Amino acid sequence: MTGLEPFDRVALVDQTPVMRSFRSNPVTYVKAFDRIRERYARTPLARQRGYAPGTFSFNVKGGRCEHCEGAGVDRVEMYFLADLWVPCEACGGRRYRAEVLEVKVHGLSLDQLLDKTVEETLALFQGETEIQEPLWVLERVGLGYVRLGQPLSTLSGGEIQRLKLARELSDRTSAATLFLLDEPTVGLHRKDVLVLLRVLRELKRRGSTVVLVEHNLDLLAACDYLIELGPEGGEAGGYLVAEGSPEEIARNEGSLTGRYLRRIAACA
């Protein structure tokens, strides 16, 4: 492959699950949980008891419930059926030891905070930029409704993809990246497609390039350059039908995509 010289890295952003552990959630994935744990460790009660940020982690021993190892759930093996997951019988799904949950920030213990949505948490921590900054990114990619502690295994493919994009946006060193996306609008509502488009434009503004395989006309019309392959699928496809800007494709009489882009232009 040639032409990769201008890029520092290549990133494939798809809808495949990122982690399957019940301890993995949106705020651990975008590194926001580190700042939240540090905030709890700075409270007077936590300092009095000698709690460090690690005490509020459910990935290491210390403050977590050791019965469920911080997952908050127990697995019930069903053998011939899919396993069931039930709240931990020791902590009741709260993930931590009772004394750790006595530490509160804005009147909330850590398990109560993890049950809040991104939008609710942003309102709680007004003026605390170190907490708000990574959460703003989640809100910008349209995940403001997601609970902080929601297991990643419960998110849809579209939500997983936007979560991956949020992590890229929160990484300020990700300039000059070539992003590859395969049909990112699959399963998305039109409103979510517009959110995705806004995120892709932000990546471009930062100096990255986005290459995607797509059929969604709203996304195609917003691209800088299109390459249409066809004219059919399978053995009858794979040939170059048209290439150029959306406006050029719309003027191409031999382009099936151009026919529909013209309809969009006519309705605009």
User: What pTM did the predictor assign?
Assistant: 0.85
Same domain, 13 and 26: no
Same domain, 29 and 89: yes
The answer to whether position 32 is within a domain reads yes
Same domain, 36 and 118: yes
The answer to whether position 87 is within a domain reads yes
Same domain, 139 and 55: yes
Same domain, 136 and 43: yes
User: What amino acid is encoded at 199 in this protein?
Assistant: V
The answer to whether position 8 is within a domain reads yes
Residue 179's closest CA among 194, 190, 195, 167?
167
The answer to whether position 66 is within a domain reads yes
DSSP 66-118: TTTTTSSEEEE--TTSPPEEEE-TTTTT--B-TTGGG--BTTB-HHHHHTSBH
Same domain, 178 and 84: no
Query: Does the pLDDT value for residue 5 go beyond 90?
Result: no
HSE-up of residue 29 (Cα within 13 Å, Cβ side): 31
The answer to whether position 218 is within a domain reads no
- The residue segments making up the domain with residue 260 are 224-268
Residue 9: count of CB within 10 angstroms of its CB: 13
The answer to whether position 174 is within a domain reads yes
Choose the final residue of a domain: 134, 150, 166: 150
To the nearest 10°, report the CA torsion of 184, 186, 191, 196: -10
How far apart are the C-alpha atoms of 253 and 258, rounded to whole Å?
Answer: 7
The answer to whether position 219 is within a domain reads no
Q: pLDDT above 90 covers what percent of the chain?
A: 75
Residue 74 confidence (pLDDT): 93
Residue 13's closest CA among 220, 182, 246, 198?
182
Domain tally, the chain: 3
165-221 residue pLDDT tens:
999 998 876 668 999 999 999 888 888 899 999 999 999 999 999 999 999 999 999
Cα 107 off chain centre by = 28
* Residue 70 to residues 22, 59, 66, 160, Cα–Cα distance (Å): 9, 6, 7, 22
Choose the final residue of a domain: 98, 132, 150: 150
To the nearest 10°, report the CA torsion of 187, 262, 180, 152: -20
